[in-house]
Amino acid sequence: MITVTQPCQQSSGEGPAAYFTGSVRVDAHFQAEAPARVGGATVTFAPGARTAWHSHPLGQTLLVVAGVGVVQQWGEPAQTIRPGDLVWIPPNTKHWHGATGSVTMAHIAIAEVLEGTAVEWMEQVSSQQYGHALTHVS
């Protein structure tokens, strides 16, 4: 049977401080029922807000829907992301994403669960790392 869920009936709230810096709103979580493994949410970052460094065992797809943001893989230059951009982050790739310092950014984040885990959270992105990333994106 096909299931239709109303987003307004799903959980919504602030992104936990353990995983985010700044004001982050996570809306309309979704998780497919087994045997499917896909899940995700719409995530909105206020200016200056960002995720901690993290990875996904099966990778992650981001669809940017509003604003201007930044995504960065560990050891690589940061990249600007804008509405309509589709970002693929390969499995087990340490990365972060968030808003620029002056513009809100929202994306739909989609990842699959492997052995009960969709994400491995790591350390926070430091102010120095964030500032450096912003000076090197267009």
Structure confidence by residue, pLDDT tens digits, 112-121: 999 989 999 9
The CA distance from 96 to 12, in Å, is: 21
Q: What is the pLDDT of residue 136?
A: 86
Query: Where does residue 24 rank: exposed (0-12), middle (13-18), buried (19+ CB within 10 A)?
Result: buried
Asked if the model's pLDDT at residue 3 lies above 70, the reply is: no
Please compute the mean of the pLDDT values over residues 66-90 and round it to a whole number: 97
Q: Choose the CATH number for 14-135 among 3.20.20.120, 2.10.109.10, 2.60.120.10, 1.10.3720.10.
A: 2.60.120.10
* pTM for the model: 0.90
- Tell me what pLDDT residue 99 has: 98
Which residue type occupies 58?
L
pLDDT for position 11: 67
Q: Find residue 44's DSSP bridge partners.
A: 25, 106
Q: What is the 3-state secondary structure (H, E, C) of 83-103?
A: CCCEEEECCCCCEEEEECCCC
What is the pLDDT, as a whole number, of residue 29?
79
